């Protein structure tokens, strides 16, 4: 907590949620009153935590192992729509887009694609465009590919 300079607690988590965090992103939707953060880890687990100010702690509201369980290398969020869009990229060249509703605690698939092993684009950064097609830009780790 930056105001009090104290560590904010997180409830008890299973081992697969506590793995090394490899990417993190705030996903608080403009209509929500509580802050929500999601992170991906080395075991391919995507975890959503919601902050409870009255208890000064985070609670896990959703977690799941995604794709084939490879490390989640990047996360992007778009909160400009009615529901929050989340995109993830993994070490095994998989890109997935989801919608997330924190009130219902559901992650719904929108898009998923895995590049062949001969392509060298391992996603390192993702960005949603604000155009009408709702494009997603993927930036490669080793070659800077787009």
Task: Give the pLDDT band of residue 7 (cuts 50, 70, 90).
Answer: confident
Q: What is the mean pLDDT of residues 11-20?
A: 78
Identify the pLDDT of residue 37: 92
Question: CA dihedral defined by 130, 131, 132, 133, rounded to 10 degrees?
Answer: -100
Identify the pLDDT of residue 55: 86
57-65 vs 45-52, strand pairing mode: antiparallel
What structural domains and CATH numbers belong to the chain? 9-140 (2.130.10.10)
Judged by phi (left if over 0) then psi (alpha if -120 to 50, else beta), residue 2 lies in alpha
89-145 pLDDT, tens digit each: 999 889 999 999 877 888 899 999 887 666 678 899 999 988 777 789 988 877 666
Enter the pTM of the model.
0.85
Here the tokens at position 6 are 């104290």
CB 85 within 8 A of CB 111: no
CB 41 within 8 A of CB 49: no
20-73 pLDDT, tens digit each: 899 999 998 777 788 899 999 999 999 999 988 888 888 999 999 987 889 999
Identify the pLDDT of residue 118: 64
Identify the pLDDT of residue 87: 95
Identify the pLDDT of residue 21: 92
Identify the pLDDT of residue 144: 66
Here the tokens at position 131 are 């155009």
Which residues lie below 8 Å from residue 89, measured CB to CB, with a gap of 6+? 72, 73, 74, 75, 95, 122, 123, 124, 126, 138
SS3 category, 17: helix
């Amino acid at each position: 907590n930056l105001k009090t300079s104290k560590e904010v607690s997180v409830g008890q988590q299973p081992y697969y949620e506590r793995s090394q965090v490899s990417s993190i992103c705030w996903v608080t939707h403009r209509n929500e009153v509580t802050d929500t953060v999601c992170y991906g880890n080395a075991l391919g687990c995507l975890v959503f935590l919601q902050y409870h100010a009255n208890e000064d702690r985070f609670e896990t509201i959703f977690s799941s192992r995604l794709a084939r369980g490879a490390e989640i290398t990047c996360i992007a969020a778009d909160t400009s729509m009615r529901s929050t869009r989340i995109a993830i990229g993994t070490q095994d060249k998989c890109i997935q887009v989801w919608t997330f509703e924190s009130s219902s605690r559901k992650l719904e698939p929108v898009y998923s694609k895995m590049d062949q092993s001969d392509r060298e684009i391992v996603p390192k950064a993702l960005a949603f465009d604000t155009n009408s097609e709702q494009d997603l830009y993927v930036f490669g780790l080793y070659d800077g590919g787009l």
